Structure 1
């Protein structure tokens, strides 16, 4: 490919030296119970150090094979497995014979297995929504993002912003992780991608933390950027070749919307301020990705104990039967929209309009 665009460089920090790397590696083994295995840990550290130095991001690969832009490209086994799972999930989603399924996402960081020692109100609201879906004969899948705060070595690693260099550099599913050389493993997103793709509808239930969505939800949102315009063939960009990706976008990119056509609802709750802004931003994000809003009652923002103490906020929720009913309504609205979309009765009025400025 000739006339490749310029790639700006010079920001990358220096790699860790041997001592700093060792300190990071050994940080996982500070419990005195590991002391008898010090020699074994040192051997593993040395192996990890060589992997870091050598940039062994994807140590297990095979030629991509037919159906790829470059069949000879050494494609990551991790990525190939994730991609095949998404293709299977998309086929199930499109099959009219499969039961309708709604993904209910809990955006809170809190559960009773974490430091607070108490479940979140978001979890309770999500459970109410799930019970309403069950009564409507709809399967539901609870994605509780608070597991990031309570389970060992479960991560949603941060988005690296590949799309801001060039959209084709952002692969679907994300190919940035796992990065074995950097020890960036146990990334939850491949499972989460599959659950989003499998769903005919999505209901987000989240608290407001400091005028924003909670950090687990924001991590997931950022990593879903590849669902909106992401490149399903990493071989076309030679993996992470930024110049090639820039050239592909320059010459014309079609910005595929991999999650379009699913219904959505949003439930945002808070105690002082910020609920409307978070509800609006989440709705705008889902609209942008091509999901279909399930009506005004499926876009809910409510206070639980406005300017009241935290200690009895669950009691306040117990007493707010109207809010409980509104959450059930939001779930039922999503279920009804799913049924209409799957039957062809719901046709978004702008479905045939072409975006003059796709992105």
Structure 2
């Protein structure tokens, strides 16, 4: 781990701006909101016990006990005596394990496939998504044809699975780059009930992968909301600080000093190859595909090839009720998705064999981010 320098007195920095109204709740408001989780009449026999739990939750909230379980950072950190959250340390260890898997010369290649649609037969829509079907087509190419291992990250779990969350990015990076920790240290925040965050499992998936294939629908001219949540929370992978002790947690003033003293913007996912498939039914597919591709390029991931980036319409201006039948009939789109997977697989194999160079790898951009 690169060890950031602690900010020195010479690094003049502006004072963090304040002035927004406080979001703090009083005890009555907090208890009312906390107990709204238990409106089911089945909880009536334990209502008194729930009140006791609410008392404890209020104490944690009032004391802002964000990370109640911590331990000393230890060797390799800017401040070895700083207490780090055990959740963050576990996430960091998982990332290091994934990095070792990625760097293992005996690993022939691993691909992460992302189904970015929130639609699922197991929630309100009552029907699977076309994105999931396309992801299955791609996965069959990687494993049956290309001999690569793959993993399917199904973001529809956010809408269909209990306790599965991606909490929104808090935009620490915009205060100062070093305030954004890699992996993200904003969650879990136990005092605010911001728990069960999925990103600590998702970060290692990205790190372990040699290739990423993102498959997304168009939702109102934009990416889907689950994909946008994940995109925003991956900001820490692009210039984020791997050592929270260097900023003493979320000390905004210290982070500003550290950035102005000179920040290296470590690109934690650089060099991975990508494919993007976007499908729509009326409009927006090209722009959404471009925005996803631009985002990945900005993080220093590389396009696998021209055929690996695809935007198409399925059932253009046809009834939504028959959209799956439209996909069944459109054999060309199915084969184009397979080809996108084939191109990504070929690029991964060549990179692993040392036969594909990263063009411009030695160039340094004059402005990082």
After TM superposition, the score normalised by the length of structure 2 is 0.96
Report deviation, 1:4: 4.5
What are the Cα deviations for residues 99-132 of structure 1, in whole angstroms up to 9, with x where unaligned?
Answer: 4110000000101001011000000000000011
Aligned twin of 2:5: none
What 5-or-longer segments of structure 1 have no aligned partner? none
**1:225 aligned partner:** 235
Do residues 280 (structure 1) and 290 (structure 2) align? yes
CA contact (8 A) 2:271 2:358 kept: no
Say whether 1:204 aligns with 2:220. Answer: no
Equivalent residue, structure 2, for 1:170:
180
1:356 corresponds, among 320, 345, 366, to 366
- The Cα RMSD (Å) is 0.9
Q: Deviations over 1:324-357 (max 9, x none)?
A: 0000011111111111111221112211111011
Q: Corresponding residue for 1:42? A: 51
- Pairing 1:183–2:193 present: yes
2:35 matched to 1:19?
no
Could you tell me how far apart the structure 2 residues matched to 1:61 and 1:124 are?
42
Q: Distance in 1 between matches of 2:28 and 2:115?
A: 40
- Return structure 1 stretches of 4+ with deviation > 2 angstroms: 1-5
DSSP 3-state at the match of 1:14: coil
Is 2:37 the partner of 1:28?
A: yes
- Distance of 2:288 and 2:297 partners within structure 1: 14
Q: 69, 77, 82: which one pairs with 1:73?
A: 82
* CA positional deviation for 1:41: 0.7
Structure 1: distance between partners of 2:305 and 2:13: 46
The aligned length equals: 359
Q: Secondary structure at the match of 2:186?
A: coil
Q: 3-state DSSP class of the match of 1:5? A: coil
Cα deviation 1:221-245 (Å, max 9, x = unaligned): 0000000000000000010000010
Structure 2: tracts of 5 or more residues without a match:
1-7
Displacement after TM superposition at 1:136 (Å):
1.0
Match of 1:247 in 2: 257
- CA contact under 8 A between 1:261 and 1:341: conserved in structure 2? no
Could you tell me how far apart the structure 1 residues matched to 2:312 and 2:76 are? 49
**TM-score normalized with structure 1 length:** 0.99
